[in-house]
Chain A
Amino acid sequence: MEEKITAFLEGPGKEITDYLGPGGDVLITLGDSSYRVKMDKDRELQVEKGEKGNSDIEITTEAEIMNDLLSSSSMEEYRQKMASYTFNNKKPAVKIHMERTDKNAARFIRTYVYFLRRMWLLN
Chain B
Amino acid sequence: MREIEVKSAATQCQKCVKCINLRPDVCAMYEEYKSQALTPPAIFLMADIILDGELAPTAERSITPFACTMCGACANACYSMFIHFEWEYPTKLIEGIRELFVEEGAIPEEISEVLRNVYNTKNAWGLPKTQRIDWEKKSGITIPDYSKEQNEFLLYVGDASLIPETQHIPEIITKLLHKGGIDFGTLKEEEADSGNEVRELGESGLFEAMAEENIETFEKLRVKKMITVSPHDYQAFSVDYPALGMEGEVFHYTQILEDLIKEERIILKKKIPKTITFQDPCHLGRYNEIYEPPRNILKAIPGVKLVEMPSNRKDAFCCGGGGGRIWYDDPANYRKQRISDIRIRHAKEVKAEAIATACPYCLSMLIAAGNLDGTSVQDIAELVLESSE
- List residues of B (63-86) whose CB comes within 8 Å of A's CBs: 84-86
B4 touches A106 (CB 8 A): no
Cβ-based interface call for A68 (8 A)? no
CB distance from A81 to the nearest CB of B (A): 24
Which of B2, B4, B85 meets A109, CB within 8 Å?
B85
- Chain A contacts of B8 at CB under 8 A? 114
In the complex, are the beta carbons of A106 and B5 less than 8 A apart? no
CA distance A103 to B5 in the complex (A): 18
Looking across the interface, which residue of chain A has its beta carbon closest to that of B83?
A: A106
Report if A13 contacts B (CB, 8 A). no
C-alpha spacing A55/B232, complex, angstroms: 37
**Nearest chain B CB to A103 CB, angstrom units:** 7
Instruction: Pick the residue among A18, A19, A43, A106 that contacts B85 (CB under 8 A).
Output: A106
Q: A110 to chain B: which residues have CB within 8 Å?
A: 5, 85-86
Per-residue contact bits, chain A 40-82, to B (CB 8 Å; 1 contact, 0 not): 0001000000000000000000000000000000000000000
Q: Mark A1-28, 1 if CB is under 8 A from B, else 0.
A: 0000000000000000011010000000
Q: Is there contact, CB below 8 Å, between B84 and A18? A: no
For B85, what are the chain A residues with a Cβ–Cβ distance below 8 Å? 106, 109-110
Contact call B86/A18, Cβ cutoff below 8 A: no
Give Cα A103–Cα B87 distance, bound, in whole angstroms: 10
Q: In the complex, which residues of chain A have a beta carbon less than 8 angstroms from the beta carbon of B2?
A: 43
Residue of B nearest to A22 (CB): B2
Q: Mark out the residues of chain A between 98 and 114 whose CB falls within 8 Å of any chain B CB in the assembled complex.
A: 103, 106, 109-110, 114
Instruction: Decide if B5 touches A109 in the complex (CB within 8 Å).
Output: no
- Interfacial chain B residues near A106, Cβ < 8 Å: 84-86
Contact B5 A18 (CB under 8 A): no
B368 to chain A, nearest CB (A): 39
CB distance from A101 to the nearest CB of B (A): 12
Chain B's closest residue to A103 (CB) is B86
Report B-chain residues with C-beta under 8 Å of the C-beta of A103.
86
Chain B residue contacts of A21, Cβ below 8 A? 5
Contact residues of B between 1 and 46, Cβ < 8 Å to A: 2, 4-5, 8
How distant is A109 from chain B, measured CB to nearest CB, in Å? 6
Q: Which residue of B lies closest to A114 (CB)?
A: B8
Q: How far is the CB of A45 from chain B (nearest CB, A)?
A: 14
Closest to B3 in A: A18
A114 to B84, CA, bound (A): 13
**Set of chain B residues within 8 Å of A19, measured between Cβ atoms:** 4
A106 to B9, CA, bound (A): 12
Q: How close is B160's CB to chain A, nearest CB, in angstroms?
A: 34
**CA separation between A68 and B85, bound complex, in Å?**
34
Shortest C-beta distance, B2 to chain A (Å), equals: 8
- Residue of chain B at shortest CB distance from A43: B2
Offer 15 A-B interface pairs, CB within 8 angstroms, sorted by A: A18-B4, A19-B4, A21-B5, A43-B2, A103-B86, A106-B84, A106-B85, A106-B86, A109-B84, A109-B85, A110-B5, A110-B85, A110-B86, A114-B4, A114-B8
Q: Kindly list 12 other residue pairs between chains A and B, CB separation below 8 angstroms, not including A18-B4, A110-B5, A110-B86.
A: A19-B4, A21-B5, A43-B2, A103-B86, A106-B84, A106-B85, A106-B86, A109-B84, A109-B85, A110-B85, A114-B4, A114-B8
